[in-house]
Structure 1
Amino acid sequence: MSSPAAPSAAPPSGRQRPAWAGRNYTLLTSAAVITNLGAHGALVASAFAVLEAGGSGGDVGLVAAARTLPLVLFLLVGGAVADRLPRHRVMVAANAVNCVSQGAFAAVVLLGHAQLWQMMLFSALCGTGQAFFNPAAEGMLFATVSGEHANRAFALFRMAVNGAGIGGAALGGAMIAGMGPGWVLAVDAAAFAVAGLLRAFLDVGVKSGPEKSSGLLADLREGWAEVRTRPWLWGIVLQFSVVVGVVGAAESVYGPLVAREHLGGPAPWGIALAFFGVGTITGAVLMMAWKPRRMLLVGTLCVFPFALPSAGLAVPLPAWGLCVTMFVSGAAIEVFGVNWMSTLHQEIPEDKFSRVSAYDWFGSVSMLPLATALAGPAESAFGRTQALWGCTALVVAATALVLLVPDVRRLRRRSAKEVASGPEAIAAAGAVAPEPAAR
């Protein structure tokens, strides 16, 4: 399988960044940092906006579900569109939708007349924008780096983005406590505007999508063929449909409630989320230098600690203990994230990145709307503590099951020479190639 093409922009002449971090890579990273600064605070702010408007834990779950439901519904279409149109234009349009929706959400909260249906509507619009943005952004990033530098590039990108999350979560919690959630949502809207402007300057010399296409449905079927013939891919996507769902419910619904009742309010919860960000930076720094041969095996083993935050909320741990669990889980899941991106970069053709990414996102978030919507009823039926322990058990069980997939244990990192030379070079190097069906 061939490596993605090198960035279309010429390498910078200065010495302030590596030669492989070209103009497009730098713009993508800068824009992602800006949006993450706003988004991490906005996620906390939306929950407390509901609570301050008199909503219950179930209402918090409904608003969270309203954001993720259109994300699930439109992701596959978004992936096909991103492989047909210039990806940077799709990203800019999606940022514009997010800017308007978050700005409207902020306005109704600041005016003091926010109603549940309004907050659900604006959250749904934001989720729709993300459905088109995410596959395009991932495909664009993959196309800006070569196979030789992919691991380091992905680690640096995620380190920068997650570093922004530290400041965004902590600052967002402090702003909610001092100024109210509406201002945090307004900052998020402004961040989308600035990021969209940066992405408009991406240098794309050729059309990102295929020159010929049989239609949108045919593109979707072609993307599905890439997924279904790779057991390691659909196995991990199924795993994360469970993991993302239960962890998302725990952190978006139960987390703010535990913070209000046991931690002293939104500020300590924001700090705990910031420690998760510190952990992700630690994991990314590690991955800048570490290239494990069995990428998927190492990455999957690092998903087990992702169960710790739910367990910490179930106890519940004091603020400092919760910060420790968030740090450990953040570092571990970042090791998975970089290895996962490196695997996709190695195994998936560049012209199908966005469609495969869309199926990846679709599977991963498919259970999130249901999980967040059921979080309130589950708390009423079983109690919050039991529901959180259930989240912990599901993460562990799903991760243990995916280790039964042979390709997850066997698939190995290949050098650029092995990729270019084909299966014979892989066999000669002693690597385990994917099964024939996976090609």
Structure 2
Amino acid sequence: MSAVPTPRTSTRRPLYGWLIAEALSLTGTRISLIALPLFVLETTGSATRTGLVALAETLPLVLFKALGGPVIDRVGARRVAIGCDLASTLVVASIPLLYHAGLLGFPLLLALVAVASALRGPGDAAKQALVPLVGANPARGDRRAWREWSTGQVAATSITTYRAEAAPPHRPAGRPRARREGN
């Protein structure tokens, strides 16, 4: 009796699943990194508040990515990656819901952005820790991951730019459009 050969694709399934998940996650992250500051600029007209939102997106991400190693080691990279991505998605999804309900003040927006960013840090680090586990050749997995990251960057920037140009601005009732210099 001879052994039944398994299809080559079955050994690549974890790599392809990881690449697809990484592409979706990066695209969503990049869209929110661009869209949230634009949202604040359009609704408030304040460059200071826009900068604060950008800071709230960046600082926790960097800090928690650097400090997330022990959590990843204790809980597991796969669990941390999936849990942080799901929690971050829920937090970011609550922003437009709260805005349309009239419950989103600027302090709450800053807190939600910081929490989503703090969740993304360990999640991103955990996904990077999975690279050697999903591909037979870690170097090839890294190249594919870089391609996915680049594709996510380009796609997110294109989608956000298109939406920002095509959609009419959304302003809270009673707030005038921000004045531009020279107007």
Please tell me the TM-score bracket, short chain as reference.
0.7 to 0.9
* 2:69 maps to 1:75: no
Which residue in 1 is equivalent to 2:174? Answer: none
**One-letter code of the match for 2:145?**
F
Structure 1 unaligned blocks of 5 or more? 1-11, 183-259, 262-439
Report deviation, 1:105. Answer: 1.4
| Alpha-carbon distance between aligned partners in 2 of 1:36 and 1:75, rounded to the nearest angstrom | 15
Shift of residue 41 of structure 1? 2.1
Cα gap change, 1:48 to 1:168, in 2 (>3 Å): same
Q: In 2, are the aligned partners of 1:87 and 1:137 still within 8 Å (CA)? A: yes
| Within-5 A mapping of 1:159-308 | 159-179=147-167
SS at match of 1:143: helix
- Give, in whole Å, the separation in 1 of the partners of 2:135 and 2:96: 37
Q: Does 1:150 align with 2:138?
A: yes
Give the TM-score, by structure 1 length: 0.35
By how many angstroms is 1:14 displaced?
A: 4.6
* Contact 1:78–1:131, Cα closer than 8 Å, also in 2: yes
Give me the whole-angstrom Cα distance separating, in 1, the residues matched to 2:21 and 2:127: 11
Q: Which of 5, 9, 13 is the equivalent residue of 2:7?
A: 13
Asked if 1:130 is matched to 2:123, the reply is no
The partner residue of 1:49 within 22, 39, 54 is 39
Structure 2 unmatched runs, 5+: 1-5, 171-179
Higher relative contact order, structure no. (Cα contacts within 8 Å, ≥ 6 residues apart):
2
| 1:321-332 matched pairs, under 5 angstroms | none
Contact conserved, 2:31 with 2:160, CA < 8 A, in 1? yes
Equivalent pair of 2:62/2:121 in contact (CA under 8 Å): yes
Distance 1:54-1:171 versus aligned 2 partners, 3 A rule: same
CA contact (8 A) 1:29 1:161 kept: no
1:76 shift after superposition: 4.1
Q: Following TM superposition, by how much is the alpha carbon of 1:82 offset from its aligned partner in structure 2, in angstroms?
A: 0.8
Question: Is the partner of 2:126 in helix, strand or coil?
Answer: helix
Residue 34 (str. 1) matches residue 24 (str. 2): yes
Q: Deviations over 1:200-245 (max 9, x none)?
A: xxxxxxxxxxxxxxxxxxxxxxxxxxxxxxxxxxxxxxxxxxxxxx
- 1:46·1:181 contact (CA, 8 Å) conserved in 2? no
Provide TM-score, normalisation by structure 2: 0.77
Whether the 8 Å contact between 2:37 and 2:50 is mirrored in structure 1 is: yes
Task: Give 2:12's aligned residue.
Answer: 22
Counterparts of 1:158 and 1:122 in 2: how far apart (Å)? 29
Distance of 1:158 and 1:76 partners within structure 2: 20
Q: Helix, strand or coil: the match of 1:53? A: helix
Which residue number in structure 2 is paired with residue 312 of structure 1? none
Rate the CA distance shift 1:74–1:153 in 2: closer, same or farther, 3 A: closer
The 8 Å contact of residues 25 and 85 in structure 2, kept in 1 or not, is answered as no
- For residue 88 of structure 1, give the secondary structure of its aligned residue in structure 2: helix
After TM superposition, give the deviation of residue 141 of structure 1 in Å: 1.1
Structure number, greater radius of gyration: 1
Which residue in the other structure is 1:103 paired with? 93
| Structure 1 contact 37–164 (Cα < 8 Å) conserved | yes
Distance 2:98 2:164 in 1: 16
Distance in 2, matches of 1:181 and 1:141, equals 40
Cα deviations by residue, 1:346-393 (Å, 9 ceiling, x for unpaired): xxxxxxxxxxxxxxxxxxxxxxxxxxxxxxxxxxxxxxxxxxxxxxxx
